[in-house]
Chain A
Amino acid sequence: MILTDFDYVRPAGLDEALTLLSGTRGARLLAGGQTLLPALRTGEIALDPAGGPLLVDIRHVDELRGIEDGPGGGLRIGALTTLAELAAHPRVLAGAPELAAAARANGDPQVRNLGTVGGNLAAAGRATDLPVAAVAADALVELAGPGGRSTVPAEEFAATGAPAGSVVTALLAPAGGPAAAFEKTADRATRYPVCATAVRITSGGPRIAVTGATPRALRLRGVEDRLGGGPYTTDAVLAAFRAEPRELFVPGRGTSAEYLGHLAGVLTARALARAVQAVA
């Protein structure tokens, strides 16, 4: 495929980037490029005579980098943090292992060296691994837009995506701990999740999120309620999943909804077992 023609601009900072995004037809953010560049090659993003695409390259915007202390003893993970950095960061590994594991599950080392936290969250759909972990972690997505800064719960962000003209600036992960895990079955061709689950065990019970088997990363509160304080045996987890409405799960490429619903249960059971083990 031939790369679509595009215009390119490299704003000096976030404010200029926001101005360009809201003021230019067909403007799109370029960070790691791992979602954008394939779309430009397949024609999914095509040249528009009325304007665009304009690639607004924010890779050098330093204020979007770094992992630092966040609100409430948690972590503030800058949007330009690469997946490789996230996967290997000691504080993430200790306090939000589900995020580190999800970051590590993306693509291959080259993809992880380029792909960013912000891009992975914003791409959402069924193709990326981070959103489901962010949902289980009960993280907040920090956005900058024409109206200023805001935060959105990761689950809501997974449903709505970034509002037009806005930029993901950080992922805010609450103070967690080791009692969390991520599990994934990857598509043979794309390595996108056929199904991925992330869990975190809290004093109030487990948080369980699923993607791949569902159209986007979702908290499964029904399953959480059924499982309560445990024990999280495989049989119990599979039974809790079977009690979910059938239409929750949607068929994937070459996989039935029935199988995906089952797979989500199996992966969740495994994740819960790992999370329990992590604090045992």
Chain B
Amino acid sequence: MTTVTGETKEVTEAVETTETAGTTEAAEATEAAEIAETAPYGNGVLGQPLDSREDPQLLRGEATYVADINLPGTAHMAILGSPVAHAKILSIDTKAAEQLPGVLKVATAADFTDVMPLPCIWIPGGVESHFPPHPYGLPGARPVLTGDAVRHVGDPIAVVVAETPRQAAAALAAIEVAYEPLPVVTLADEALKEGAPQLHEAVPGNLNAYWTCGDKDRTDAAIAVAEVTVELDLVNQRTINSPIEPRGAVGDYNAATGEYTLYASTQGPHNHRFLLSALVLGIPFNKLRVIAPTVGGSFGTKGYLYPDMALVLLLSKALGRPVKWVDTRTGLMNSTVQGRDHRQHVVLAGTRDGRITAVRATSYANLGAYPSTIGPGVATALMGRSISGMYDIDAAFCEVYAAFTNTVSLGAQRGSGRAEAAFLMERLVDRYASEIGMDPAAVRRKNLVPKEKFPYDNGLGWTYDSGNYQLNFDRAMELSDYAGMPARKAEARARGKRLGVGIASYVAICGVGPSTRMSKEGMLGGTWESANIRVHPTGEVTVTVGSASTGQSHGTVFAQVAADELGIDPAQVQVYEGDTLKAPYGQGTYGSRSYSMAAPAVALTARKLKAKLVKAGAVFLGVPEDKVVYEGGKVHEDGNPENTKTFAELAMAMWYGWGLPPEIEPALDETTHFDPPDFNYPFGTHVAVVEIDELTGETEVVAYTAVDDAGNIGNPKVVLGQIEGSIMHGLGQALMEHAVYDENGLLESSDLTRYALPRAFDAPFFTLGKTTTPSPHNPLGAKGAGEIATVPPAAAVVNAVVDALSDLGVQHIDMPVTPEKVWRRLRGEAQ
């Protein structure tokens, strides 16, 4: 493994720029120019806004998703999910279903007694926690099919495999299940109360863990003596991850070789291979191959183990045929991990002149009925350690009660944990500013972590790597014309609109991560990443990575990284990933990690190849090694450019291997496993401007400024697309998204006619700027980018709405901010 520290590149001295945005295009043009200057040996390809090479096939509908995989002889699986949220299963009768046309197999938990439950691999770190059991003593999550009881609507009880999807679906209705209803609980804080319905025998009181970070005594003391304290009760409502492609899985068992192949919509094929083979099926690791075809978005949902993945493999073996399952939208909403869902009481203390002295958060996190593969870690560490945001606060403390309820399992949702943290902090800062009569921008500016304090220990467990928060914040104020808002408010009022402006700053831990550090954080596994580069005899290059794109343009960006390092045309570079047979081991795509984890592995591998080509170049050029110059994809003799070998010539010579001394191996094929010394910490400041209709209460986001700092950026076009998408995702939570469970645990919003997602026409005018503070923790100076802009929008929008209503005494409004909620506040009603 290679561990890279700051010395390998002058990243700490690299550009910290401001640039003109105003429009997206202006920002792009400036970004490309800046990054090119910082590229160490490169040909300038890295940092260019190249078109994404994946896009044409995605846009033309030519990509192959799991649903498009039709192996000869495929049978189709359908899953019977529980119609009730909590009940004992008294009996299951499958006889009638088995008799129906086309039905090949009906299976229940009784058919899989030798199959282990799915494990949970990210638990609340450093504290006592309680989980359903797993035979290896690991924390268990859920069985592949439940036999004793159902614990949420959609809990898988039985499966049917039939000749056609329609026959399989029809047979589900013929399975008879007798239930003994049990009382239902859907809220985390309710689940912890005495007398609440109990979900798991091994989890007394439904409490998975009580987890804390920070200094409780110091924080309590600071709050006790503070000049000013403000408090809020917040609901960070549950949201439904809605990738355009629901999940699917095809299992294919080969009886001749004993090998299993799983095609699945996964963002971590290697992880799924390990967990499924070793911890669920109990088969040799080398008998399972996992292939991720094109994956149509994930937003944090497709890195998890789901029962269907194991079931298609088991049933393929049982039936001797490939078995395929593709979910529906309503199925997704009742099975795939959901996001957010914290209920919180939060306190901020400070001085009368705007200095924040302490922040304290108590949060009830709703893990759902079963722990998802990494849900408990997301709900604790990612949220709790992030609550102080961009601010230099002397005392901070967060406690999380993670509880099980009769709802779909909680997982990550783009910006997970960090968005919930930013929401509570940024709401508190506005509340505090209002309490002391200070401008919220001035309060923020006064409390930003100073530039000279980096690396900065936030007192909650994160050490921020690098940043210039003042520059970033000032840029956002400038680009958003914050100073001009009073005039705009007056102008809007004349039109019957209340204009409000809301700021939200954030720090989003990314780049998971340093494996040892993550082990202390409760991660039961490694979190390094890898890349292999093969130079073919003809000079073309193949990059394979352990990461797996769910839409992040890896093929484009990793080609840029390799091409830039090697000084060749990116068109020469092909990128492959997503097949465990072909790709080097890696942990997958999540937490905005690919560009700061996989891309550095690509760069380091290219550097190994370059070093080898310099050594070999000395042989082929007939000069000492220190006279060999590698430049522009060629080697030449220093001072004698005529004596040169092109990249293709070198590739062919290394393929032949003729004349190489014993210390130089033939061929060009290198691999790097990259484990960074620490996380990276992108940050930014967003400003939302809303207009509220005085008569209807409708809120429109009329302008949105985002200044994000993701360190050095590989492809600004790709990143800007991610930033715009991220902002829309955050606006969705602020204004419309809400997974509503009724008192019986039935998900009311279980299809897209009842669960609102933002549409293109909901997009405000974006003004996107950036600052660039490279991370010292990887050789590209990269920080996470894919999800970071999802972190602040909900806070920015709610802050803007509260600002617009502040003269009515409104101090908070719960998400989603619906027209009727606002209308009632306009009429003077309490929340």
Contacts and interface: CB of A to CB of B under 8 A. Distances in A.
A188 B820 contact: no
Interface string B685-704: 00000000001101000000
Given A187-B756, A255-B820, A259-B824, 12 more contacts: A2-B165, A5-B166, A185-B698, A189-B752, A189-B753, A189-B754, A189-B757, A190-B753, A255-B818, A259-B819, A259-B823, A266-B696
Nearest to B820: A259
Contacts of A255: 818, 820
A256 interface: yes
Nearest to A5: B166
B695 A234 contact: yes
A157 B37 CA distance: 70
Contacts of A254: 818, 820
29 contacts: A1-B328, A1-B329, A1-B330, A2-B165, A5-B166, A185-B819, A187-B756, A188-B735, A188-B736, A188-B756, A189-B752, A189-B753, A189-B757, A234-B695, A253-B754, A254-B818, A254-B820, A255-B818, A255-B820, A256-B820, A259-B819, A259-B820, A259-B823, A259-B824, A262-B823, A263-B696, A263-B819, A266-B695, A266-B696
Nearest to B740: A254
B655 interface: no
B755 interface: yes
B169 interface: yes
A261 to B, nearest CB: 12
Interface string B792-831: 0000000000000000000000000011100110000000
Interface in A240-277: 253-256, 259, 262-263, 266
Nearest to A234: B695
A263 B820 CA distance: 9
A188 B817 CA distance: 12
A2 B166 contact: yes
Contacts of A253: 754
Interface string B752-765: 11111100000000
A62 B355 CA distance: 75
Contacts of A190: 753
A189 B755 contact: yes
Nearest to B693: A266
Contacts of A5: 166
Question: Which label, helix, strand, loop or mixed, suits the secondary structure of the A interface?
Answer: loop
A239 to B, nearest CB: 14
Nearest to A267: B696
Would you list the 8 A-B pairs with minimal beta carbon distance, nearest first? A188-B756, A189-B756, A259-B820, A188-B736, A266-B695, A190-B753, A266-B696, A255-B820
B831 to A, nearest CB: 15
- Counting chain A CB atoms within 10 Å of each CB, the highest count among B698, B753, B754, B755 belongs to B753
Contacts of A263: 696, 819
Contacts of B695: 234, 266
A186 to B, nearest CB: 10
A262 B819 CA distance: 12
Contacts of B820: 254-256, 259
Contacts of B823: 259, 262
Nearest to B758: A188
A253 B818 CA distance: 12
Interface of A: 1-2, 5, 42, 185, 187-190, 234, 253-256, 259, 262-263, 266
Contacts of B696: 185, 263, 266
Interface string B738-768: 0000000000000111111100000000000
A266 B752 CA distance: 28
A106 to B, nearest CB: 14
Nearest to B760: A108
Nearest to A38: B753
Interface string B103-140: 00000000000000000000000000000000000000
Contacts of B818: 254-255
A202 to B, nearest CB: 26
B759 to A, nearest CB: 8
A2 B169 contact: yes
A263 B822 CA distance: 13
Contacts of A2: 165-166, 169
- Counting chain B CB atoms within 10 Å of each CB, the highest count among A254, A262, A263, A266 belongs to A254
Nearest to B749: A189
A35 to B, nearest CB: 12
Contacts of A189: 736, 752-757
Contacts of B698: 185
A248 to B, nearest CB: 18
A254 B820 CA distance: 9
Nearest to B694: A266
Nearest to B695: A266
Nearest to A252: B820
Contacts of A42: 751
Contacts of B169: 2
Contacts of B736: 188-189
A211 B767 CA distance: 38
Nearest to B732: A188
Contacts of B166: 2, 5
- Counting chain A CB atoms within 10 Å of each CB, the highest count among B166, B329, B696, B735 belongs to B696
A158 to B, nearest CB: 22
Nearest to A41: B328
A89 B391 CA distance: 58
Contacts of B753: 189-190
Nearest to B78: A2
A11 B540 CA distance: 60
B252 to A, nearest CB: 23
A147 to B, nearest CB: 37
Contacts of A234: 695
Contacts of B754: 189, 253
Interface string B559-588: 000000000000000000000000000000
A124 B794 CA distance: 36
Contacts of B755: 189
Nearest to A42: B751
A187 B698 CA distance: 12
Nearest to A254: B818
Contacts of B752: 189
Interface string B78-114: 0000000000000000000000000000000000000
A77 B639 CA distance: 83
- Counting chain A CB atoms within 10 Å of each CB, the highest count among B165, B166, B695, B755 belongs to B695
A187 B753 CA distance: 9
B585 to A, nearest CB: 38
A262 B751 CA distance: 28
B245 to A, nearest CB: 15
A42 B751 CA distance: 10
A78 B824 CA distance: 44
A249 to B, nearest CB: 13
Nearest to A190: B753
A210 to B, nearest CB: 15
- Counting chain A CB atoms within 10 Å of each CB, the highest count among B169, B735, B736, B820 belongs to B820
Contacts of A185: 696, 698, 819
Contacts of B824: 259
A189 B762 CA distance: 12
A33 B227 CA distance: 65
A212 B229 CA distance: 45
A190 B757 CA distance: 10
Nearest to B762: A188
Contacts of B756: 187-189
A236 to B, nearest CB: 14
A51 B329 CA distance: 29
A170 B800 CA distance: 48
Contacts of B328: 1
B182 to A, nearest CB: 28
A5 B166 CA distance: 9
Nearest to A238: B695
Interface string B138-172: 00000000000000000000000000011001000
A184 B170 CA distance: 40
